[in-house]
Amino acid sequence: MKIETTRFGPLDTSEDDLITFPEGIIGYPDRKRFVLLQNSPEDPFCWLQSTEDPALAFVVADPTRFVPDYTVKVPPEEVSPISLAGVGDARILVFVVIPAENPLETHLNLRGPVVINTANRLARQLVLSEEYPLRHTLVGAGA
């Protein structure tokens, strides 16, 4: 299928690559279908591109590449909307904020991770407790 994007131009993606957020993403309840654009498996960063809104794409990252001991602990019911059966099927991504005026303040939102069930490609953004920082700065954090 062809999708339009403002950042990357027209893209050809497979239906199999679609990730569905049944409840949308916090702040974007109407955007439910996304694709992950990743340069290479070595690249910790990728783009979560909406297939419904060409201009909507989030920078996301594999948190364990920067915070090796990062784990998401939630009751099983929190991931029941995406039918997650076991940890083995879960892929965790976090949002990356690159402040335009001060890129050295680039940070990961460790409080609101995205959990993707790789078995059925359903995903959900969680809101964790306050012990998880909303802003984990990358530069100078021993990353």
Partner 1 sequence: MLVLARRTGESIVIGNDIEVLVIEVKGEHVKLGISAPKSVPVNRKEVYLAVQQENQAAAAASPEQLARIKETLKHHR
Distance CA 32, CA 17 (A): 14
Residue 20 in the binding site for partner 1 (CB under 8 A): no
Q: How far is the CB of 125 from partner 1 (least distance, A)?
A: 8
Residues with Cβ < 8 Å from 124, sequence gap 6 or more?
A: 21, 22, 23, 78, 79, 81, 82, 114, 115
Taking the least distance from each CB to partner 1, the nearer of 9 and 16 is 9
Burial class (CB in 10 A: 0-12, 13-18, 19+), 127: exposed
Q: Which 22-61 residues touch partner 1, going by CB under 8 A? A: 25-28, 45, 47, 56-60
**Which residues would be at the binding site for partner 1 (CB under 8 A)?**
7-8, 25-28, 45, 47, 56-60, 75-78, 80-81, 95-100, 103-104, 106, 109, 111-112, 125-127, 130, 134-135, 138-140, 143
